């Protein structure tokens, strides 16, 4: 355990203990707060955590992550009741951006009459932009007539009226989109532009399945919030001079989190009280909303399944484990969670339904694909997955090393941006994949290079050779370590291995063997994950 990780989890443990008495309905609120969202934004604190001397500021001195997970295991036991089977209850899918279960999988594996799509907020009204001359009129219309509307017909009627009013304004004063006026949970405009199978919040699902929103169960708990916040403020006084708790940023964050968490505790409990639920599926219990749902469900004996939203490249995004079952990709996660102190019966290997798309045939020929991007079809194509402008110098070195030895084209998949990456302007043989879906790209490239991300696993499942530029992350788990020489920290060395792959048949055979060994451990079962998820739900609810 390196110094940073030791100090990080020790600081988290201090926070849990120091503010343990801040409770609501018998639940210690710090356990439901997402402290990493504050720590990881504080550059000064992040640097201090790397120092051995920092431990002098801390009460706890944990020696391994198991100690931290065991504290949460105890917390969960305080609030959980034995699992109850409710055959007549509905399976709840909490829809957020990290769930990533494809549209087709939802419709194929979940019975609409027995499934609820749970959202967070509906019909919230944003501040109308200042450039509306008829601001008051639109505000009044929005507030009175559109607060809780849910069907498309009513929405389109409202949209037509709003746009008619908007278009009468000078061009420079017009709203950029209707979403500047209304924070509409289902974005119908984008719906028509995106492939529906990749969007869980589609019109078809919304019409076929029951849709609930936690905001519909909101109650006024302002008085309770004030009481709990006052108690926290009194505690702040006792920590005068503390390196962390005495900061305005921490105090503001914690008071806001108290209000947010209490509201979601109330909404979650009222939802489960009024709706018959057999099981809840969430994307990650790193999210405080999902964490609250999991604890509220545990109190009622309702099982929760936490899907794995990406590879565990950093431990910071996957600890603590809280759901009844964490549905993971493979043996790596099972062994890792066990090492971290998670309950043995709390892990099931089921893969992920979105990876089922990898095994489907391509909808475009290679010629059409490359023609659309303007790429020379006579050259080999290498896909590079990057994350914005992180490590641009390393990617430059990699491209130059390969280009000096091979006449190839590079396609850059830029995440999270959809805009062409800046490297496409620096090299004549580097192209943007534009807005193409990653699963439409894999069949038409000869090799994939990625940072330590889920793209590497996805590409291997698509039967592509993968090389990883390992720049290291905070809390690195060495996920790709089993790839051997296909994982390198230095871009020039990685580039030379890629050249070797294209020019040396012996090395090519070696890399394929490494990929096979890696997948046997990381994703051992390539049967449909949707089937395995359904079996897990039946096991928990029957």
Instruction: Give CA–CA dist 481/443, Å, rounded.
Output: 25
CA-wise closest residue to 167 among 144, 134, 125: 134
CA 370 to chain centre: 30
Which residues face 450 on adjacent strands?
A: 385, 468
391 Cβ contact partners less than 8 Å away, ≥ 6 residues apart:
451, 469, 471
CB 450 within 8 A of CB 469: yes
The angle formed by the CA atoms of residues 439, 445 and 446, to the nearest 5 degrees, is 135
pLDDT, position 140 = 39
CA-wise closest residue to 353 among 307, 407, 387: 307
CA-wise closest residue to 312 among 467, 69, 525, 479: 479
Domain boundaries, the chain: 23-33+60-88+217-351, 123-184, 362-522
Output the tens digit of pLDDT for each of the chain's 542 residues: 899 999 999 999 999 999 999 999 999 999 999 999 999 999 999 999 999 999 999 999 999 999 999 999 999 999 999 999 998 999 999 999 999 999 889 989 999 999 999 998 754 433 323 223 333 433 433 334 443 344 445 555 655 555 555 444 444 333 343 333 333 333 433 443 344 334 445 554 555 788 999 999 999 999 999 999 999 999 999 999 999 999 999 999 999 999 999 999 999 999 999 999 999 999 999 999 999 999 999 999 999 999 999 999 999 999 999 999 999 999 999 999 999 999 989 999 999 999 999 988 887 888 888 888 888 888 999 999 998 888 899 999 999 999 999 999 999 999 888 788 999 999 999 999 988 889 999 999 999 999 999 999 999 999 999 999 998 788 999 999 999 999 999 999 999 999 999 999 999 999 999 999 999 999 999 999 999 999 999 999 98
pLDDT, position 346 = 96
Number of residues written out for the chain: 542
Q: Which two tokens stand for residue 25?
A: 């309905």
For residue 21, the tally of other CB atoms under 10 A from its CB is 12
CB 65 within 8 A of CB 340: yes
> Residue 175 in 3-state DSSP?
coil
> Residue 195 in 3-state DSSP?
coil
CA-wise closest residue to 447 among 540, 382, 523, 352: 382
Locate the DSSP E strands across 138-239.
Answer: 182-183, 210-213
Return the CATH architecture of domain 362-522.
3-Layer(aba) Sandwich (3.40)
Radius of gyration of the chain from Cα atoms? 25
The pTM (predicted TM-score) of the whole model is 0.84
């Amino acid at each position: 355990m390196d110094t940073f990780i030791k100090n990080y989890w020790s600081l988290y443990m201090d926070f849990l203990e120091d503010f343990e008495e801040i409770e609501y309905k018998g639940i210690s609120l710090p356990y439901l707060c997402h402290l990493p969202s504050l720590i990881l934004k504080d550059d000064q604190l992040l640097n201090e955590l790397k120092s051995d001397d920092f431990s002098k500021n801390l009460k706890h001195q944990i020696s391994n992550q198991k100690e931290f997970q065991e504290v949460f295991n105890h917390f969960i036991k305080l609030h959980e009741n034995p699992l109850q089977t409710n055959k007549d209850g509905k399976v709840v899918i909490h829809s957020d951006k990290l769930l990533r279960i494809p549209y087709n999988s939802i419709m194929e594996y979940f019975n609409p009459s027995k499934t609820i799509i749970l959202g967070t907020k509906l019909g919230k009204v944003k501040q109308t932009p200042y450039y509306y001359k008829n601001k008051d009129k639109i505000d009044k219309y929005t507030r009175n007539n559109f607060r809780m509307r849910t069907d498309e017909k009513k929405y389109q009627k409202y949209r037509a009226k709003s746009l008619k009013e908007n278009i009468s304004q000078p061009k420079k004063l017009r709203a950029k989109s209707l979403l500047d006026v209304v924070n509409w949970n289902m974005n119908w405009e984008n719906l028509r532009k995106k492939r529906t199978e990749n969007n869980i919040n589609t019109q078809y699902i919304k019409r076929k399945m029951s849709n609930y929103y936690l905001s519909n169960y909101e109650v006024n708990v302002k008085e309770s919030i004030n009481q709990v916040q006052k108690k926290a403020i009194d505690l702040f006084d006792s920590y005068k001079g503390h390196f962390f708790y005495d900061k305005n940023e921490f105090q503001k964050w914690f008071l806001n989190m108290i209000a947010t968490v209490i509201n979601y505790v109330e909404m979650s409990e009222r939802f489960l009280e009024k709706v018959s639920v057999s099981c809840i599926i969430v994307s990650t219990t790193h999210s405080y909303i999902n964490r609250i749902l999991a604890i509220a469900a545990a109190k009622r004996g309702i099982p929760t399944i936490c899907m794995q939203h990406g590879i565990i490249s950093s431990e910071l995004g996957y600890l603590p484990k809280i759901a009844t079952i964490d549905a993971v990709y493979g043996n790596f996660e099972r062994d890792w969670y066990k090492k971290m102190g998670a309950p043995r019966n709390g892990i099931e290997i089921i893969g992920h339904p979105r990876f089922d798309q990898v095994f489907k045939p391509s909808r475009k020929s290679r010629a059409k694909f490359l023609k659309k991007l303007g790429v020379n079809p006579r050259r080999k194509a290498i896909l590079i997955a990057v994350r914005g402008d992180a490590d641009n110098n390393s990617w430059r070195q990699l491209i130059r090393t390969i280009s000096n030895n091979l006449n190839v084209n590079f396609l850059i998949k830029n995440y999270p941006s959809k805009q062409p990456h800046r490297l496409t302007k620096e090299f004549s043989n580097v192209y943007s994949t534009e807005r193409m879906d990653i699963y439409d790209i894999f069949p038409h490239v000869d090799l994939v290079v990625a940072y330590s991300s889920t793209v590497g696993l996805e590409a291997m499942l698509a039967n592509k050779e993968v090389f990883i530029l390992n720049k290291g992350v905070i809390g690195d788990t060495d996920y790709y370590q089993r790839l051997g020489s296909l994982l390198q920290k230095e871009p020039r060395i990685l580039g030379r291995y890629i050249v070797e792959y294209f020019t040396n048949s012996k090395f090519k055979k070696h890399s394929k063997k490494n990929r096979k060994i890696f997948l046997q451990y990381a994703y051992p079962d390539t049967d449909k994950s949707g089937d395995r998820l359904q079996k897990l739900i039946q096991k928990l609810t029957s």
